[in-house]
Structure 1
Amino acid sequence: MAAAVAVAGVTGVVVLQGATGTEPAAGPGDGKPRPVAAEARTKPIAASADGRSAVLKEEGTKPFSMLGVTWTEPAARVTGTVEVRTRAVGSGQWSSWLRLDGDSGQGESGAARGGTEPAWVGPSDGVEVRLRAGGTTSKALPAGLRLDMVDPKTGTVSGMAPAAFALEETATPTPTGTTPGPVEPAPDPVPVPTVTSPQEPVTTPPVSEPPTEQPTTSAAPTPTSSAPSVPSTPPASPSPTATAPSPPPSTVPRPPITSRAGWGADESISPEAPGYLPDGRVKAVVVHHTAESNAYTCDQAPAVVRGIYAYHVKQLGWKDIGYNFLVDKCGTVYEGRKGGVDLPVMGAHAYGFNSETTGISVLGTYTDAAPSQAALTSVARIAAWKLGQYGVDPAGTTTLTAGDAGRSYSGKTWAKGAQLSFPTIHGHRDGYNTQCPGDAFYGSLPTLRSWAAGPVAGLAVKSVTGAGASGTTYYTKSSVTVNWAATTPAALVKQYDLLVDGKVAATAAATATSGKVTLTPGTRKVQVRAVHQSGKTATTAAVTVVAETTAPTFTTKPALALRTGTVNTAAVPLTLSWKATDSTSLKEVRLTSPVAKTYGPTVYSAAHTAKSGAATTWSMTAHDRAGNTSTASVAGTPVILQETSAAKYGTWAAKSSSSYLGGKSFSSSTKNASLTWTFTGRSAAWVVSRAATSGQAYVYVDGVKAATVDLKSATTKYRDAIWTKTWATSGKHTVKIVVVGTSGRPTVTTDGLVYLK
């Protein structure tokens, strides 16, 4: 893997701020970023007599935060194990043993030395190293072993402004601290330094990209076939010249990028001019992880980048940092190798395929856990932007020419010059025998390609508010709010459109998850269309929304009628009835007075009670699913007529008990004895007392026999409304009850009559 960085033990990772190195000196009040010169030190590691093991322990060293193990022959590999542990500055606590990948990835051909990937260990002042060769007993460790320690001089780069890129996914936790900058606000290439004597010695002279990185197929000469000349004074950016390519426009927007100056690159250690891809175009993006600890904060990320830069250049002898771009877990993008972020700069990240690709590496290790949503989003944005400059589909495949023989992590092998098919966004392991970018990150590549290529994925309408629902249909007077979700991050979305019957009715920002739309009356089909930054669109299934302003109708106005049941002066049983309908969809009918009740659209009556002698208004409101309403009401007064108010015929005996209405009742066993009440109302109920020995009675209404009522009851009952009669309108009526004289149980006990006026 191209200079991957290993994970330090938890105990070896502490806060970097102020613990290692010093703040770079500020400029003369101009507020501009200043380079931060990293310090690198080495310590030889002596091998055992058989050359198969080596150990080193150093205590009380000058502070460092990154380390690696290197050896003389760049092409050599350690087939056994390389392990380190470090002592934390301040606490003095030793970390757990950390295993380093025994191959830096041969990212830069002609490098001065070979080595492991660098490991970010946090501020440390002690280190222990142990190596053991693998394979057969004749296999020895590489010659010239040494420990390389890097102090990236942590702290805030002088004049650094906050980065413009902010986390757009709230589900990803943001570490404490602000993201460094400055961020390049427009597609300006980065500075090319003047060729001067470096401030610190480089391990070996810089080397140029080897011929083996050139495609085996011939191509016509282009302006990109040679490196640009280096000006005597560093300009703001490398302007297009006869030897430097012009930056092509992209089909998608450029994301914010923190420049090399923004992360404190010491340009003096890599004075060689940048190189550009021979064909002048990027055909694929290779994704990496740096494999260092995920415990860094976003404030510390620039120091991590500086450490990788120093290790690549000072320790391995590369001309510059190997990656074209680096991304931290908070989503900040850092410019890697110099030459212009918008130009096809030749990196040193994917040996054998550097001449046709650009490399993006996420700071951290992602073997078990995938990168944060913010990091994946930024990788997708950078990949889409770079590929968009050359008309390459991020979800497609491409053919790359192998600059050297090689082997992939899955075991596939090829010869130099082989034509190999790769996804246009692929992992380092696809073109080199390394775990990079880690299993979890590699498993996220299909999602990353989808985000970069479009259309917007996972788009769906989640709900419609401001409307009533019945099944899958919504009802509204005119306006609804449509709520949606998508799995593609907002940073890769251009906008959302709300469609009504296929036409754009409203437009919402990329960060929106809802939008309001006003509908004209009728049945409408509402959809959400997502426009990806590439211009590709995705549209949800249609939701049916009925817009209407017609109020429900009470086809049967509310009405009251006395019902059977136990009568009290405070609670006379009655029935409230009604019927409401709607032209589209009735939702419910609500009783609002004298009590609050809600009834479904197919309920047409309900049992209630009312206080006798008190006029009560029963108010109702019908609601349809669109929110339209209509009201109706009915008023009534239950009146209790005691038995003493009736006209008597025959023999009746008065009885007293608190169980009777008014404390008294009339009882008779005489055949044809009768009581007659006259009243003006629209409903009546005869109230009696009942027992197992109670007899029967005839009921006459307005002189006509209406019923024969049997008062017999297995249980004793008092104040029981046993018979009712209701008329369509209020009027004057007479109710007469006559004792039948039932054999063996002739007694009838009456407790009065109730009518409703």
Structure 2
Amino acid sequence: MAVAGVTGVLVFQGVTGNADAPAGAEGTTGPVSTRGQTAPLTASTDGRSASLARRETEPFSMLGVTWTDPTARVKGTVEVRTRAVGSGKWSSWLRLDGDSGQGERGAARGGTEPAWVGPSDGVEARMTSAGKTSAGLPAGLRLDMVDPGKGSVKSMTPAAFAVEGTEEPTPSGTESTDPGPDATGTPETPATGEPTSEPPTSTPDTGTEPPTTTPSTSASPTDGPTDGPTGTATPTTSPSPSATTLPPAPPSTAPRPPITSRAGWGADESISPEEPGYLPGGKIKAVVVHHTAESNTYTCADAPAVVRGIYAYHVKQLGWKDIGYNFLVDKCGTVYEGRKGGVDQPVQGAHAYGFNSETTGISVLGTYTDAAPSQAAMVSVARIAAWKLGQYGVDPAGTTTLTAGDAGTNFFGKSWAKGAQLSFPVIHGHRDGYNTQCPGNAFYPQLATLRTWAGGPVAGLTVKSVTGAGLSGTTYYTKSRVTVGWSATTPASLIKQYELLVDGKPAVTVAGTATSASATLAAGTHTVAVRATHVSGKKTTSAAKTVVAETTAPTFTTKPALALRTGTVNTTAVPVTLSWKAADNKALKEVRLTAPAAKTYGPTVTSAAHTAKSGVATAWNMTAYDQAGNTAGGSVTATPVILQETSATRSGTWTSKSSTSYLGGKSLSSSSKNASLTWTFTGRSATWVVSRAATSGQAYIYVDGVKTATVDLKSGTTKYRDAIWTKTWATSGKHTVKVVVVGTSGRPTLTTDGLVYLK
């Protein structure tokens, strides 16, 4: 269905098929038809606003607003909203970037940047001038809509690349000579060749006469800058060479990234049959970074269609000879060849008004006013910049001087005259050389990162780990082999290689995608670092780490030993203390108990509380580790033995008591002064086990006939099986322990539950 008031339906080529083939699938896509349709905006009586009422349209996915004078700029607000195919849902208002940058000499129209809106079949538009009362909108305003088409057809060789001496293909139909949308609003002829039945649409009356421009086609050698008034280079001596006479492309210091060719994204070469142009000086001095100022909601499968839409908009709607950008990058990082002429050649684009003749243009699909581009897109932009600038020995992190092809003003209010010599960062934003927001407020601050990534050296290089070694303070210790891990903020695809340096000399060289490497060290103290080489050849070295290689094992200066301790005694859990001392000639790391339980102790710990089963000989095995991983073992074996009170030799009066709370269910109690119990055993540690209460009295303890302690059994809470007193000897031997009732006034009673010793 035709749009009411449409100036014509532009059928760019009648080939259909699948437009969503993978962007990088070379040979699976070819020239894909695109179709345009236009609708005039109605201007207000004061010429300061214009609109297009909501209406249905033929399907489209990209749009822009254009006007008659290609040199005119819109100072104001341009907004559109669209209806989605299928759901019928209308979008919110989308603001279009003010203008496309006056990119091409001989352009038929001026216009906003195109916006990708996805498959749509309805549209509404409105414009408002931001100028003073006397500054209205340009004449000939219309909405241009592009269907990027679908297709999977054989590749077609661009006419500009035809081999000399062979006949160039002549596209059929009227499209071969179609100069683009008619600047005066004259209806265009459909692909059928039949005249349109729709009446001509007059240019909206804005109160001003559209200016008449006659683009210059030549310039004398003394005309100064090679950029003409619309930003396209005019050779100073002879036309740009054709593709068949180009010198070989210079090699680059950086590798070429993967690039989807024009055939890969389905470029219909018949709509731009002109040969490409090349930079007059033959050298790229700078990279201008752009965004395409459209929605970020496209999918990566949509990206080839987005590129086709931009191509069709630039060529058929604005009347440019080809897409303006040299390269385009989608949010998944796929790179697309833009303007034809050879990606490795200094092709002159139409992307930076006044500075096209010394630069190449890279545009990221999407709008980056509020959100920065994806890392994948940033990496690809840096890789293209590094490769292209590397062909001409230009430092991406440096500055350069460009000659202004025309007077201009940039986004920051800086103005210059034609021929001015201006300093720019080698990688800079479109706004640096033109009054536009491009590449967006969120993208522009990221240009510093792009310069670092593209120009090197590798940034953020840090050793993150040294495995196979232990760390003590700031020194690592290993037996011999270590694996060093690192990280860098520069993306791996921009890093040529890493070297693992030992004492300043390369020990191992690995790829730029690696994050670790291993080396075997001789005995002694070494420095270990990582050196990264950027694709530009610049090198950077991380801070060094000190690594000591040694194979001397630690020692137990005091072998593991076991002793009884105070606490509650059970037949399955007798309180014991395990003690030891370990040392190392370099750095002790830890001591591990491996049996009968698993525990790990720090290098300064020399004892630990445990429990052991009574009547069972238990081996306590320990291993000392130094920071290098060298080890030494030590162990002790002991058996806790419970001697019931009934096994003691008694004197005086003792009463037997029964309770499940006592060891073995029984105990002996006495309040008779000087009543005693004596146990005889062979061992190296002993502990007396009692029951305690608030009325419990005191006892004297004699060891091997010598009084050694007075023990008070009084306790604020009742306790059973309480090991209250211990004694340990340096070696195992035969000993006697005698307990005597003191007969404490008011609380003379003792209740004893036996004796435990270690053998």
Q: Normalising by the residue count of structure 2, what TM-score does the alignment of the two structures yield? A: 0.83
Question: Secondary structure, in 3 states, of the residue corresponding to 2:264?
Answer: coil
Give distance in 2, aligned partners of 1:628 and 1:710.
Answer: 47
Q: Which moved more, 1:204-213 or 1:673-682?
A: 204-213
Contact 2:15–2:33 under 8 Å retained in 1: no
Deviation of 1:719 after TM superposition, in Å, equals: 4.5
Structure 2 segments unaligned to the other structure (5+ residues): 1-13, 20-25, 183-213, 227-233
Give distance in 1, aligned partners of 2:715 and 2:18.
Answer: 102
Question: Secondary structure, in 3 states, of the residue corresponding to 2:443?
Answer: helix
Q: 1:665 aligns with which of 649, 664, 668?
A: 668
Q: 1:608 aligns with which of 607, 610, 620?
A: 610
Residues 720-745 of structure 1 deviation map (CA, whole Å, 9 limit, x = unaligned): 44443322222233344556666777
Deviation of 1:355 after TM superposition, in Å, equals: 1.0
Residues 393-433 of structure 1 deviation map (CA, whole Å, 9 limit, x = unaligned): 10111111111110001110011111111111111111111
1:236-275 correspondence to structure 2 within 5 Å: 238-239=243-244, 241=245, 244-275=246-277
Contact 1:223–1:245 under 8 Å retained in 2: no
Deviation of 1:278 after TM superposition, in Å, equals: 1.4
Question: Secondary structure, in 3 states, of the residue corresponding to 2:290?
Answer: strand
Give distance in 2, aligned partners of 1:140 and 1:736.
Answer: 116
Q: Which amino acid aligns with 2:391?
A: Q
Residues 458-484 of structure 1 deviation map (CA, whole Å, 9 limit, x = unaligned): 222233334333343333333333332
Q: Which amino acid aligns with 2:35?
A: E
Deviation of 1:207 after TM superposition, in Å, equals: 7.6
Deviation of 1:711 after TM superposition, in Å, equals: 3.6
Contact 1:402–1:418 under 8 Å retained in 2: yes
Q: 1:202 aligns with which of 135, 155, 178?
A: 178
- Residues 1:198 and 1:521: Cα distance change in structure 2 (over 3 Å): farther
Contact 1:227–1:276 under 8 Å retained in 2: no
Q: 2:93 aligns with which of 84, 97, 101?
A: 97
Q: Which moved more, 1:451-460 or 1:604-613?
A: 604-613
* Aligned twin of 2:103: 107
Q: Which moved more, 1:536-545 or 1:706-715?
A: 706-715
Q: 1:126 aligns with which of 104, 122, 126?
A: 122
* Aligned twin of 2:3: none
Contact 1:213–1:353 under 8 Å retained in 2: no
Deviation of 1:150 after TM superposition, in Å, equals: 2.3
Deviation of 1:260 after TM superposition, in Å, equals: 1.6
Q: Which moved more, 1:45-54 or 1:544-553?
A: 45-54
Question: Secondary structure, in 3 states, of the residue corresponding to 1:681?
Answer: strand
Q: Considering only aligned residues, what root-mean-square deviation do their CA atoms show, in Å?
A: 3.4
Deviation of 1:289 after TM superposition, in Å, equals: 0.9
Give distance in 1, aligned partners of 2:335 and 2:346.
Answer: 17
- Residues 1:560 and 1:408: Cα distance change in structure 2 (over 3 Å): same
Give distance in 2, aligned partners of 1:217 and 1:304.
Answer: 33
Deviation of 1:33 after TM superposition, in Å, equals: 4.5
Q: Which amino acid aligns with 1:303?
A: A
* Aligned twin of 2:50: 54
Whether 1:404 and 2:395 are equivalent positions in the alignment is no
Give distance in 2, aligned partners of 1:682 and 1:360.
Answer: 85
Whether 1:146 and 2:142 are equivalent positions in the alignment is yes
Q: Which moved more, 1:495-504 or 1:196-205?
A: 196-205
Give distance in 2, aligned partners of 1:697 and 1:102.
Answer: 101
Contact 2:531–2:542 under 8 Å retained in 1: yes
Give distance in 1, aligned partners of 2:569 and 2:553.
Answer: 38
Question: Secondary structure, in 3 states, of the residue corresponding to 2:681?
Answer: strand
- Residues 1:159 and 1:717: Cα distance change in structure 2 (over 3 Å): same
* Aligned twin of 1:40: 36
Q: Which amino acid aligns with 2:141?
A: L
* Aligned twin of 1:69: 65
Give distance in 2, aligned partners of 1:459 and 1:34.
Answer: 43
- Residues 1:718 and 1:380: Cα distance change in structure 2 (over 3 Å): closer
- Residues 1:258 and 1:208: Cα distance change in structure 2 (over 3 Å): farther
Give distance in 2, aligned partners of 1:449 and 1:372.
Answer: 16
Q: 2:76 aligns with which of 73, 80, 93?
A: 80
Q: Which moved more, 1:207-216 or 1:35-44?
A: 207-216
Q: Which amino acid aligns with 1:533?
A: V
* Aligned twin of 2:478: 476
Residues 666-686 of structure 1 deviation map (CA, whole Å, 9 limit, x = unaligned): 636354x65544332222334
* Aligned twin of 1:373: 375
Contact 1:36–1:264 under 8 Å retained in 2: yes
Deviation of 1:751 after TM superposition, in Å, equals: 4.5
Question: Secondary structure, in 3 states, of the residue corresponding to 2:388?
Answer: helix
Give distance in 2, aligned partners of 1:744 and 1:301.
Answer: 98
Residues 528-583 of structure 1 deviation map (CA, whole Å, 9 limit, x = unaligned): 22211111122221223333333322211111222334444443333222112222
- Residues 1:534 and 1:693: Cα distance change in structure 2 (over 3 Å): same
* Aligned twin of 2:653: 652
Q: Which amino acid aligns with 1:135?
A: G
Q: Which amino acid aligns with 1:71?
A: W
1:9-24 correspondence to structure 2 within 5 Å: 22-23=16-17
Structure 1 segments unaligned to the other structure (5+ residues): 1-19, 161-181, 183-188, 231-237
Give distance in 1, aligned partners of 2:463 and 2:553.
Answer: 28
* Aligned twin of 1:489: 491
Contact 2:225–2:418 under 8 Å retained in 1: no
- Residues 1:717 and 1:445: Cα distance change in structure 2 (over 3 Å): closer
Question: Secondary structure, in 3 states, of the residue corresponding to 2:270?
Answer: helix
Contact 2:351–2:361 under 8 Å retained in 1: yes
Contact 2:311–2:323 under 8 Å retained in 1: yes
Whether 1:681 and 2:683 are equivalent positions in the alignment is yes
- Residues 1:627 and 1:159: Cα distance change in structure 2 (over 3 Å): farther
Q: Which amino acid aligns with 1:370?
A: A
Tell me the number of residue pairs that the alignment of Structure 1 and Structure 2 aligns.
691
Q: Which amino acid aligns with 2:179?
A: T
Give distance in 2, aligned partners of 1:198 and 1:211.
Answer: 35
Contact 2:291–2:438 under 8 Å retained in 1: yes
Contact 2:32–2:151 under 8 Å retained in 1: no
Contact 1:719–1:751 under 8 Å retained in 2: yes
Q: Which amino acid aligns with 1:81?
A: T
Question: Secondary structure, in 3 states, of the residue corresponding to 2:551?
Answer: coil
Give distance in 2, aligned partners of 1:367 and 1:214.
Answer: 41
Contact 1:191–1:339 under 8 Å retained in 2: no
Q: Which amino acid aligns with 2:657?
A: S
- Residues 1:134 and 1:195: Cα distance change in structure 2 (over 3 Å): farther
Q: Which moved more, 1:97-106 or 1:551-560?
A: 97-106
Give distance in 2, aligned partners of 1:661 and 1:78.
Answer: 100
Identity %: 74
Contact 2:97–2:293 under 8 Å retained in 1: no
Residues 700-722 of structure 1 deviation map (CA, whole Å, 9 limit, x = unaligned): 4444x241424452456554444
Q: Which amino acid aligns with 1:216?
A: G
Q: Which amino acid aligns with 1:364?
A: G
- Residues 1:198 and 1:326: Cα distance change in structure 2 (over 3 Å): farther
Q: Which amino acid aligns with 2:670?
A: S
Q: Which amino acid aligns with 1:667?
A: S
Q: Which amino acid aligns with 1:480?
A: V
Give distance in 2, aligned partners of 1:97 and 1:541.
Answer: 53
Whether 1:579 and 2:581 are equivalent positions in the alignment is yes
Q: Which amino acid aligns with 1:103?
A: D
Q: 1:136 aligns with which of 110, 132, 152?
A: 132
Contact 1:213–1:404 under 8 Å retained in 2: no
Contact 2:240–2:280 under 8 Å retained in 1: no
* Aligned twin of 1:355: 357
* Aligned twin of 2:201: none
Residues 267-311 of structure 1 deviation map (CA, whole Å, 9 limit, x = unaligned): 222222222111111111111111112122222222222222222
Contact 1:561–1:576 under 8 Å retained in 2: yes
- Residues 1:728 and 1:279: Cα distance change in structure 2 (over 3 Å): same
Contact 1:338–1:345 under 8 Å retained in 2: yes
* Aligned twin of 1:541: 543
Give distance in 1, aligned partners of 2:581 and 2:406.
Answer: 85
Residues 355-404 of structure 1 deviation map (CA, whole Å, 9 limit, x = unaligned): 11111111111111111111111111111111111111101111111111
- Residues 1:652 and 1:430: Cα distance change in structure 2 (over 3 Å): same
Give distance in 1, aligned partners of 2:449 and 2:179.
Answer: 41
Q: Which moved more, 1:432-441 or 1:292-301?
A: 292-301
